Amino acid sequence: MQTRRTLFGIIVLLFAFLTANQSVAQKKTKVELIQANSIRSDKNLYNGARRLIGNVKFKQDSAIMECDSAHFYSDRNMFDAFGHVHLYKMNNKNIDVRADFLRHDGDLKLAHFRHNVVLRDSNVILTTDSLDYNLQTDIGYYEHNGRIVDSLTVLTSLKGYYYNKQREVYFRSNVIIDHDSGVYQMFTDTIRYGLDTKIIDFFGPTEFYNDTNYMYARYGWYNTETEISMFKHDAMFRNPNQTITCDSMSFDRLHESGTAYSNVVAIDTTQNLTVTGDYVEIHKEPELLIVTDSAQIIYTVNGDSLYLHADTLRVCRDTSGQYRTFSAYWHVRAYKSDLQLQADSIFFSMADSIARFFGNPIFWVQGNQITTEYMEAFVKDNQLQKFMLYKTGMIIAPHDSTHFNQIKGTQMTGYLRDNDLYKVDVFKRAQTLYFPIDDNEIVGVNKGESNDLTIYLKDRAIKRLVYRSQPQSDMYPIDNMAEADMRLGGFVWYDDIRPKSPTDIFIWHKTDAIQSSRRITMPTQPTDSNAKKDRKPLAPNRNASRR
């Protein structure tokens, strides 16, 4: 980084040197004395220079230089000016310099201002104690501390380079920017400031501070009028509760919204929540979070973490504005040590604490497999308390690798305690198939049917059944029974596609049931107009006008 900084400084100084020396090859003009109250010859002055006193005015080309007194070396085409020095150009209102002292070389057209130097551009004021200005190229530079002020921003640095024609100022070494009386401060090594655009481009490690937020990046820009910014290369945002790191980040301070791009990691310590992806969009009003491209949420509770992935993750407020809602679509997969999931879409509202699963979801809870067309899960204290299966559901609890206890019905309600399924109510066309155990040995196959029934389970095994309407139950010997006779209709064991680690959530597995379920409409599934809002916008325009 030091080599880069040194190289940048050499390039800027070389450019200033070359442009200064180009004026030598151009036609020389003489410095003209326009007026002075008195003119005296003084043998004590170098080379017999004339002493000019009172309302002194010089002219060279379009430049006018005024002062209280001066030593004029006409044979050398230069002068020293003292007191209330003022230089301006008749054809350029952007050049207006005042100082206590000026040494002007008319051959090189170089003005050396010293002590209390003030350069007034049409848009900013530059103050320093030492400024060298080339009247031919309209380039000025200082190397001993300077300060630029516009309507809202104060910029200070050890070195600075002013390019009037290009309408830019470069700041180097110990650069500090104070915007809007402390709304934020910026610390960096090198920036470029557009005098007309009011845009700050920074090059190198840069830090931003305000009362609660901290930002860092190694390259980017900030529009001081629109207050839109772009941060690139190791970008980071931090406040007391959240930290975001990414490759690049845009931020709109007025609307308090931002977008992070590539390798995004957002951590919320108050919620024990981590969001990762390659595109994260955040808005404060209305509250909205969108995550796409390898989107993932990691939620940690009681030392265990839930990892969830979908094509798009979305968090916002409901229509009342009181409760947050969460949506995940499409290709949803999740992993937790005691719970795994695959579904097409999820919708969850804090208003009722009900999670709704669409697209033939598959659940694995403590080894049990739950399948259905549509499911509602009731959450309390971060624990799944109850679930309801609609339009034919099936629960499969393996006894071993070949024997599976099975429950099937048009509608089911399952009850859990510490993520352990202990009771199931089955409504309409209830079917059961289970393997009774005696002395740890399977003694047969029990097949039962009823319109409604209640099943009690322990350790994934059926312990008791209560048939409530038109019951029918038969026990069959297991010897020589075909495998098909030990399966209810629609039985599929999906353990081969179950996420078995956090990284498995990014591997989608097609099933015929899920693929045919797209006709189901999720409550917050975007319509065409909303889908457009979720599309990734282009990077912000640095030259955009104030909104």
Kindly report which listed range (32-46, 216-230, 243-257) carries the lowest average pLDDT score.
32-46
Residue linked to tokens 């993750």: 313
**Third-level CATH fold of 35-144:** lipopolysaccharide transport protein A fold (2.60.450)
Q: What pLDDT is attached to residue 277? A: 93
Tens-place pLDDT, residues 499-530: 999 999 999 988 765 443 343 444 444 433 34
3-state helix, strand, coil in the chain (%, to 5): 10, 60, 30
- Check residue 382 and give left, alpha or beta (phi > 0: left; psi -120 to 50: alpha): left
Chain-wide mean pLDDT for the chain? Answer: 84
Is pLDDT above 50 for 4?
A: no
Report the alpha-carbon distance of residue 418 to residue 182 in Å, rounded.
Answer: 51
How does pLDDT run across 260-319, given as a tens digit for each residue?
A: 999 999 988 887 889 999 999 988 887 788 999 899 999 887 788 999 999 999 988 887
Binned at pLDDT 50, 70 and 90, residue 346 comes out as: very high
d(CA 489, CA 151): 76
Q: Give the residue range(s) of CATH 2.60.450.10 domains in the chain.
A: 35-144, 288-529
Question: Burial level of 37, CB count in 10 A (0-12/13-18/19+)?
Answer: exposed
Q: Would you state the pLDDT for residue 257?
A: 86
3-state secondary structure of 338: coil
CA angle 296, 498, 489 (to 5 degrees): 135
Contact 524, 310 (CB under 8 A): no
pLDDT surpasses 70 at 116:
yes
Bridge partners for 206 per DSSP:
217
CATH number of 288-529: 2.60.450.10
Task: Please classify residue 18 by burial: count the beta carbons closer than 10 Å to its beta carbon, then call 0-12 exposed, 13-18 middle and 19+ buried.
Answer: exposed
Residues 210-225: tens digit of each pLDDT: 778 888 999 999 898 8
Model confidence at 208, pLDDT cuts 50, 70, 90, reads confident
CB 49: neighbour CB atoms within 10 A? Answer: 21
Q: Where are the beta strands (DSSP E) in 367-410?
A: 368-380, 383-398, 404-409
pLDDT(436) > 50: yes
Which one-letter DSSP state was computed for residue 74? G
